[in-house]
């Protein structure tokens, strides 16, 4: 069937964290610039897109969870699931760009499912599907896919107007190779204008400014950057003397974001000297300046042409200052934050350090509590996920705003984010649509991701603002095909936006341009690890505190976990539960929301169901909740049965179950008769013969330092709530040799036959919780190998069987 060229194109996106939205909108804008009539919608707005009449469709689709569609595509999938007509899309030609990550078992599942469904409904691809991989950098697939899309699109879609061109074309941008006038391999940054040989020492004064004192006494001291912390109360005294070697070998210096160390970056190598100065620790942290990054530019002078440079991101956002007055937040957290369920407040009530202070990772359990009148808000089972709204680091936010030339007063003024084209407010990125009453400080604190992997659109935009020709060239190089390796090396340094700006000091972009290219700050997700049956007003969760040094010895920290660690007072004693009992006015509130668990990674309601739990490291945490829940389920069931034995049935049905927060033994709303019926028990004796078999596979590095919840687990084992425990210790001598297990998958392999029998003969549910990158994939392969061996099926069929079990809730994964 021939289809006449369409005069309209629809671009849809399914996006969880903003990448797919950004890419889809860029495709849409470029299509318009190229003269196509294009419209862009989120997948769940399929009605607006009028798919029944759309002849040319492009979809950019990301994933979340374990190959699940993003939240804004769930309605879309539901809608399509119901459609059975094989000609529903026969009028439509489509192209799909998937954004996935090969660290996950179900790589690009959303894009693959979409393609399958579109084909079933008669749709025809006009351009081969692209499957980008976040593990190696989305750009590697996304950029060529978009570059070649236009040729394919010409064949199916009419241009309705003449194409407009940008000053720099998308491909084959040439620059004249210029001899480099500096022989350094790294860019000079914060002290660019100071001759390195003329530096004797640097000092930071009480205003937070860094001064460079010169060897030549006649040269007055140079002040590098002045950043005064508004609330600085005590002086910061910091004097560093550089030895000759350091001075001659110096290219740049920077103040560390977190430790207030001064770093000296060297010319010849990527090594960095860190000088820690005497510091009055009671002083507020100075505002960071960012850390200039090492970039190997040795090949740049040999390149005559840079190709595949992306277009300059369109200008979409405009900040409007509404008054000279300070913004007074009307809600907390800010209303521009959108979450899948209502945000509620819980108060920090306790913290426990689960690891030895010497352990490689610091693992914490945090407990938060809601007020008595709010306890109905808490509806979850152990294993259910919830999100935490965490702020970006205050210093980093101020540092970035200062770097952009925005002072203390201005950063707190009342602003609204609008579209540059007033008529097109719908074009605003989703996360800024509700930013109608906020401040620049609030936006950077809660709305924008300024610490995650940097993306080329940021560099491409900055290139437009680089006054220094060398910097502009470097930025374009990093965006180009020729600079792919250097871009990856830059990313590996895990720069913040401030670090990027410190590396390119001549760039002074307007704040609005950052809004155009930065993705939304994401809530952080954790699994609930307690049972409401045991703690009706509490939510407990455990995590590793993300703080580490990069290979360049630069300190890095996560957004949420160090914040929670600090809020809870950085507890130091292992295994001691430290209560945080503050008065009502002084309590520390955390903003949370419950996240519907699409896979039902929860303890089965039937106590007799056998379960296999596989959770190394913090992956064990929800299983502690499973065991706690089972123990309490039994306790409640026993109490209830006794009650029934003594009271007549009518009285029982009237009884208020409020002893347990009005929830049943499964943690859900129910009355006690239902509970007993669901559990399938008839008599008290029946209940006490109770638990199904439960087997926990756990893994840690060093039993003495990071065996999390050791006492609790052994307690469950001794009380019969847990039937079996197998532990792999990866850093034990001989681990991984001569059949000695190193990881949990090795343990499962050793017990292959018993695991198989439990799964097949006893219909056990298998739960896997933990790292998606190494463990979950290894475990999936191990389980497939077991099925393949004992069932006599191929490995591919075994993998299919596991997928089927996931659908049937018999093999459940909670991965990150």
| Site residues for ligand FMN per CB under 6 A | 15-21, 62-67, 70, 99-101, 104, 106-109, 134, 138
The DSSP secondary structure of 27-88, one letter per residue, reads HHHHHHHTTB-EEEEEGGGHHHHTGGG-SEEEEEE--BTTTBPPGGGHHHHHHHHH---TTT
Closest approach of ligand FMN to the CB of residue 19, in Å: 3
Secondary structure letter of residue 377 according to DSSP: G
Distance CA 682, CA 537 (A): 31
Closest approach of ligand FMN to the CB of residue 310, in Å: 16
Phi, psi (degrees; rounded to nearest 5) at 610: -75, 145
Question: Cβ closer to ligand FMN: 70 or 619?
Answer: 70
Question: Cβ closer to ligand FMN: 565 or 814?
Answer: 814
| Element at 651 (helix H, strand E) | helix 649-654
- In the complex, which residue's CB is closest to ligand FMN? 100
| Residue with the two structure tokens 């699109």 | 153
Question: Cβ closer to ligand FMN: 13 or 681?
Answer: 13
Residues in the chain: 816
Distance CA 580, CA 541 (A): 15
Closest approach of ligand FMN to the CB of residue 778, in Å: 16
Question: Cβ closer to ligand FMN: 370 or 592?
Answer: 592
Question: Cβ closer to ligand FMN: 19 or 438?
Answer: 19
Inter-residue contact 604 to 611 (CB < 8 Å): yes
Distance CA 477, CA 782 (A): 44
Give the number of other Cβ atoms within 10 Å of residue 181's Cβ.
6
Closest approach of ligand FMN to the CB of residue 30, in Å: 18
Q: Is the dihedral of CA 673, 379, 769, 621 positive or negative?
A: negative
Closest approach of ligand FMN to the CB of residue 13, in Å: 7
Question: Cβ closer to ligand FMN: 65 or 382?
Answer: 65
Distances in Å between the Cα of 284 and the Cα atoms of 150, 231, 279, 396 are 53, 7, 11, 13
Closest approach of ligand FMN to the CB of residue 506, in Å: 31
Express the helix, strand and coil content of the chain in percent, nearest 5 each: 35, 20, 45
Phi, psi (degrees; rounded to nearest 5) at 460: -65, -40
**Alpha-carbon torsion angle 478, 483, 488, 489, nearest 10:** -90
Closest approach of ligand FMN to the CB of residue 17, in Å: 3
Question: Cβ closer to ligand FMN: 17 or 38?
Answer: 17
Closest approach of ligand FMN to the CB of residue 60, in Å: 8
Question: Cβ closer to ligand FMN: 75 or 608?
Answer: 75
User: Which residue in 636, 646, 629 sits closest to 681, CA to CA?
Assistant: 636
Question: Cβ closer to ligand FMN: 63 or 349?
Answer: 63
Distance CA 487, CA 478 (A): 5
Q: Max Cα separation, the chain? A: 99
Closest approach of ligand FMN to the CB of residue 108, in Å: 5
| Element at 548 (helix H, strand E) | strand 547-549
Q: Helices 139-156 & 19-33, crossing angle to 10 degrees?
A: 40
| Structure token pair of residue 776 | 């979950």
Question: Cβ closer to ligand FMN: 194 or 815?
Answer: 815
Distance CA 532, CA 380 (A): 7
Closest approach of ligand FMN to the CB of residue 558, in Å: 14
Q: Give the CA angle between residues 685, 691, 696 to the nearest 5°.
A: 165
Distance CA 450, CA 185 (A): 26
**Alpha-carbon torsion angle 787, 790, 793, 794, nearest 10:** 60
Closest approach of ligand FMN to the CB of residue 106, in Å: 5
Closest approach of ligand FMN to the CB of residue 439, in Å: 26
Closest approach of ligand FMN to the CB of residue 44, in Å: 14
Question: Cβ closer to ligand FMN: 255 or 618?
Answer: 618
Question: Cβ closer to ligand FMN: 680 or 774?
Answer: 774
Closest approach of ligand FMN to the CB of residue 281, in Å: 36
Question: Cβ closer to ligand FMN: 136 or 425?
Answer: 136
Cβ neighbours for 422, distance < 8 A, ≥ 6 positions apart: none
Distance CA 50, CA 395 (A): 47
Q: Give the CA angle between residues 194, 178, 296 to the nearest 5°.
A: 65
Question: Cβ closer to ligand FMN: 19 or 480?
Answer: 19
């Amino acid at each position: 069937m021939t289809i006449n060229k369409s005069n309209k194109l629809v671009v849809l996106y399914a996006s969880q964290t903003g990448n797919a939205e950004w890419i889809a909108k860029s495709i849409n804008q470029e299509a318009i610039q190229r003269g196509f009539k294009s419209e862009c919608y989120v997948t769940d707005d399929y009605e607006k897109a009028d798919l029944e009449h759309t002849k040319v469709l492009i979809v950019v689709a990301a994933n979340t969870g374990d190959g699940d569609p993003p939240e804004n595509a769930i309605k879309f999938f539901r809608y399509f699931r119901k459609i059975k007509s094989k000609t529903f899309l026969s009028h439509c030609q489509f192209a799909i760009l998937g954004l996935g990550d090969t660290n996950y078992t179900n790589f690009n599942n959303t894009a693959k499912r979409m393609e399958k469904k579109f084909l079933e409904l008669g749709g025809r691809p006009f351009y081969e599907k692209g499957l980008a991989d976040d593990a190696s950098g989305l750009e590697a697939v996304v950029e060529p896919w978009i570059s070649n899309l236009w040729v394919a699109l010409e064949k199916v879609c009419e241009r309705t107007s003449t194409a407009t061109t940008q000053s720099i074309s998308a491909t084959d941008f040439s620059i004249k190779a210029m001899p480099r006038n500096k022989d350094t391999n790294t860019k000079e940054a914060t002290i660019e204008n100071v001759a390195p040989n003329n530096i004797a020492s640097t000092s930071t004064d009480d205003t937070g400014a860094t001064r460079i004192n010169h060897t030549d006494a006649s040269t007055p001291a140079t002040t590098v950057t002045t950043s005064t912390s508004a609330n600085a109360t005590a002086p910061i005294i910091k004097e560093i003397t550089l030895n000759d070697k350091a001075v001659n070998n110096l290219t740049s210096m920077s103040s560390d974001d977190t430790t207030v160390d001064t770093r000296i970056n060297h010319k010849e190598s990527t090594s960095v000297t860190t000088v820690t100065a005497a510091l009055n620790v009671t002083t507020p942290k100075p505002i960071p300046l960012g850390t200039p990054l090492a970039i190997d530019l040795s090949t740049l002078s040999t390149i005559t042409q840079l190709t595949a440079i992306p277009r300059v991101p369109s200008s979409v956002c405009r900040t409007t200052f509404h008054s000279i007055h300070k913004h007074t937040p009307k809600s907390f957290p800010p209303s521009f934050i959108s979450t899948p369920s209502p945000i509620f407040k819980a108060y920090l009530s306790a913290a426990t350090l689960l690891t030895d202070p010497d352990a490689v990772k610091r693992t914490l359990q945090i407990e938060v509590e809601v007020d008595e009148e709010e306890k109905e808000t808490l509806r979850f089972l152990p294993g259910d996920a919830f999100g935490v709204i965490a702020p970006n680091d205050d210093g980093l936010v101020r540092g970035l705003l200062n770097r952009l030339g925005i002072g203390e007063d201005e950063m707190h003024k009342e602003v609204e984010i609008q579209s540059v084209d007033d008529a097109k407010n719908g074009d605003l990125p989703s996360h800024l649509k509700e930013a109608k009453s906020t401040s620049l400080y609030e936006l950077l604190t809660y709305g924008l991701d300024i610490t995650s992997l940097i993306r080329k659109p940021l560099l491409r935009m900055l290139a437009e603002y680089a006054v220094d020709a060398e910097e502009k060239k470097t930025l374009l190089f990093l965006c180009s095909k020729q600079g792919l390796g250097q871009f990856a090396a830059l990313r590996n340094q895990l720069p913040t936006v401030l670090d990027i700006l410190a590396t390119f000091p001549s760039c002074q972009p307007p704040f609005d341009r950052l809004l155009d290219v930065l993705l939304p700050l994401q809530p952080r997700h954790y699994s609930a690890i307690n049972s409401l049956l045991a703690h009706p007003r509490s939510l407990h969760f455990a995590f590793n505190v993300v703080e580490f040094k990069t290979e360049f010895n630069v300190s890095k920290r996560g957004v949420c976990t160090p914040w929670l660690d600090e809020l809870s007072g950085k507890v130091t004693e292992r295994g001691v539960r430290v209560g945080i009992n503050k008065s009502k006015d002084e309590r520390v509130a955390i903003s949370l929301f419950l996240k519907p668990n699409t896979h039902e990674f929860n303890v089965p309601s039937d106590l007799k169901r056998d379960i296999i739990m596989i959770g190394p490291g913090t992956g064990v945490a929800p299983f502690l909740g499973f065991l706690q829940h089972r123990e309490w389920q039994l306790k409640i069931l026993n109490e209830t049965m006794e009650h029934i034995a003594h009271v007549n049935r009518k009285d029982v049905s009237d009884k208020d179950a409020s002893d347990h927060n009005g929830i049943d033994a499964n943690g859900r709303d129910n009355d006690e008769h239902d509970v007993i019926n669901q559990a399938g028990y008839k008599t008290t004796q029946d209940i006490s013969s109770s638990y199904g078999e439960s087997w926990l596979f756990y893994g840690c590095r060093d039993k003495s330092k990071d065996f999390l919840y050791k006492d609790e687990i052994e307690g469950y084992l001794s009380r019969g709530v847990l039937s079996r425990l197998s532990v792999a210790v990866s850093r034990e001598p001989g681990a991984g040799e001569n059949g000695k297990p190193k990881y949990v998958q090795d343990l499962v392999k050793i017990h292959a036959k018993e695991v198989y029998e439990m799964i097949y003969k006893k219909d056990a549910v298998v739960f896997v919780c933990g790292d998606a990158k190494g463990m979950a994939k290894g475990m999936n392969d191990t389980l497939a190998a077991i099925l393949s061996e004992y069932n006599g099926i191929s490995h591919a069929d075994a993998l299919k069987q596991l997928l089927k079990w996931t659908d049937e809730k018999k093999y459940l994964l909670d991965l990150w």
